[in-house]
Amino acid sequence: MNLFNIISELEKVDPEIMDRLTHRRSALTALGDMTKKMALAAAPIAIGSAFNKAMGQNNSNATVNDILNYALLLERLEYSFYNQALNAATLSTTLTGDARTAITTIRAHELAHVNLLTAALGSNVSPATAPTFDFGANAFTTYAGFLTLAQAFEDTGVRAYKGQATSIPRTLNPTVGGNQVNLLTVALQIHSVEARHAAHIRYMRRGATAGAQTSIMPWIVNKDANGVPDAVYGAGVPTTTFPAEDNVAQGGITALTTMLGATYSAADVSAAFDEGLDSTTVTNIARSVVKF
């Protein structure tokens, strides 16, 4: 099944599809102008090519594939990260027992996501093979440090999928591995798995040898970074669409803390809603901790 052909196929049966896509595309294009500049300014290496391709193209058919390739990049990164951790001699005595079991489960999920996205993309997988991910000399030297990075990747992954949810046409139902699937549903099914991973890893960090984050919760309170790079919980571009995780305004209501008929703490309101991130900000975060 070639996803590039999906939209033209849909157009044959649903003439309105292009109108709907054009709508979304105009929003994306506006975003694209900014992200392109930011990407080129902020990340001199390969980001430019990845992003010009992902966000700059006017061909909406390609946009969906670019979203999938972007998701694939993140999944390949996560898989590689956990795979390197599980094979790291430096973690062999600390990443043990239930923790090793959990990380093995998470690695299996990331691999499954890589496989699924690869199958969905077919010949449009780009790049054809996974890049080499270099997490630096210190990524796996301590258990606590490893978990900190894991949290960064998982919480960023949740934000990344959420940020793309509105760019995936809800009527796209390609056949993947013999089954017809709805692409938006699949994206959300991955999204919630990443959120489960994030929740578990955050809680793992409570232990004495795991970072001793005594107050950390499975959910994101305000934009507390708990040792993770601040950008993971910061605002994206544009900030109105992708605010920082301490956001308390939702759905046009400027302050859920005071406008819902009672007073709620900013901590609770911010924790009750996760925020999305644009692909440029996500990639910049990734490149701040891993070379690829």
Q: Which residues bind another protein (CB under 8 A)?
A: 24, 98, 101-102, 105-106, 108-113, 115-116, 119, 158, 162, 165-166, 170-171, 176-179, 181-182, 184-186, 188-200, 203, 217-219, 241, 250-251, 253, 256, 259-262, 264-265, 268-269, 271-276
Give the whole-angstrom CA distance, residue 233 versus residue 81: 20
Rounded Cα distance between 61 and 59, Å, is 5
Residue whose C-alpha is closest to residue 168's, from 269, 43, 292, 68: 68
Contact at 8 Å (CB) between 51 and 280? yes
**Whole-number Å distance between alpha carbons of 125 and 69:** 6
- Return the beta strands (E) in 152-200 as ranges: 175-176, 179-180
What's the min distance (Å) between Cβ of 281 and another protein?
16
Rounded CA-CA distance 6/114 in Å is 21
Residue with tokens 């196929």: 9
C-beta of 76 vs 113, nearer to another protein: 113
Q: Which CB atom, from 50 or from 117, has the smaller least distance to another protein?
A: 117
- What DSSP character marks residue 100? H
Report the alpha-carbon distance of residue 104 to residue 59 in Å, rounded.
39
CB of 48 to another protein, least distance (A): 28
CA dihedral 81, 135, 131, 75 (to 10 degrees): 30
Q: Which residue has the tokens 């990524």?
A: 139
Residue nearer to another protein on the CB measure, 234 or 276: 276
Q: How far is the CB of 274 from another protein (least distance, A)?
A: 4
Which C-beta is closer to another protein: that of 127 or that of 218?
218
Q: Would you tell me how many other CB atoms lie within 10 Å of the CB of residue 277?
A: 32
Could you give the CA distance from residue 176 to residue 186 in angstroms, rounded to a whole number? 11
Taking the complex as a whole, the smallest distance from the CB of residue 136 to another protein amounts, in Å, to: 27
38 vs 112, beta carbon nearer another protein? 112
As measured in angstroms, the least distance from the Cβ of 215 to another protein is 10
* Shortest distance, position 17 Cβ to another protein, whole Å: 13
Q: Shortest Cβ distance from residue 123 to another protein (Å)?
A: 18
Quick one: 50 or 204, whose CB is closer to another protein?
Answer: 204
Task: Count the neighbouring beta carbons within 10 Å of the beta carbon of residue 112.
Answer: 14
Specify the residue, 94 or 171, whose C-beta has the smaller distance to another protein: 171
